Amino acid sequence: MSRSPRPFAVIFDRDGVLNVDTGYAFDPARLEWMPGARAAVARVNRVGAVAVITTNQSGIGRGYYTEDQMHAFHAEMLRQLAVEGARIDRIYFAPHHEAAPDPRYRVADHPDRKPNPGMLLKALADFAVAPSDAIMIGDKASDMEAARRAGVTGYLYSGGDLDAFLAGRLATLMGTDVS
């Protein structure tokens, strides 16, 4: 399918949407994909839409793991996606927590931390995508609230085959078949 002249974007939450939420996932050796997640990213790529991740990572702020460890986890995600011919165009993360021991991360209600829309707004601006031309796939109320505040349609994913979940929603966004 050829790319539409108008940019579209799918904004994925990470834990519980793309990878199994094990509680503060950061170890690349323990990466476990949600069913259909890699196929969903590949579908987004095939139709020419932008694929991004926006993820709260308070485990960094809380001192459970480092930014370098999170980046290693993301590198493994990207590596495994590339093996299947899929890619994520950019990953946005919010490491902040109001009780962080490290003052760099100690921020109450940071504008990037969902339910605030900062990460989504950055993604839209970075890729010149209108909010009406983007969807957010998340598994928590905070994801849906961030989408609402950014003017993006949010879809609450509660498990199952992510590719099947995404297919119809992506077709509605783009106004065309996306199989």
Residue pair 136/153 in contact (Cβ under 8 Å)? The answer is: yes
Q: At what angle do helices 67-83 and 37-46 cross, to 10 degrees?
A: 70
Whether 1 is in a domain gets the answer no
Verify whether residue 139 is a known catalytic residue: no
Whether 3 is in a domain gets the answer no
- pLDDT recorded at residue 173: 79
How many domains does the chain contain in total? 1
The model's pLDDT over 43-97, given as tens digits with 9 standing for 90+, comes to 999 999 999 999 999 999 999 999 999 999 999 999 999 999 999 999 999 999 9
Whether 89 is in a domain gets the answer yes
By residue range, what is the domain housing residue 96? 9-174
Verify whether residue 102 is a known catalytic residue: no
66-73 long-range contacts, CB within 8 A, separation 24+: 67/95, 69/26, 69/27, 70/26, 70/95, 72/26, 72/28, 73/25, 73/26, 73/27, 73/28, 73/31
Whether 133 is in a domain gets the answer yes
> Which residues are 12's β-sheet partners?
53, 137
Residue 106 has pLDDT above 80, yes or no: yes
CATH at 108: 3.40.50.1000
Whether 99 is in a domain gets the answer yes
Burial 127-158 (b: 16+ CB within 10 A, else e): bebebebbbbbbbbeebbbbbebbebbbbebe
Whether 4 is in a domain gets the answer no
Question: Which residue among the candidates 15, 133, 143, 163 is catalytic per the annotation?
Answer: 15
Quickly state the pLDDT bin for 168 (edges 50, 70, 90): confident
* Average confidence score pLDDT of the chain: 94
Whether 179 is in a domain gets the answer no
Whether 110 is in a domain gets the answer yes
The model's pLDDT over 12-49, given as tens digits with 9 standing for 90+, comes to 999 999 999 999 999 999 999 999 999 999 999 999 99
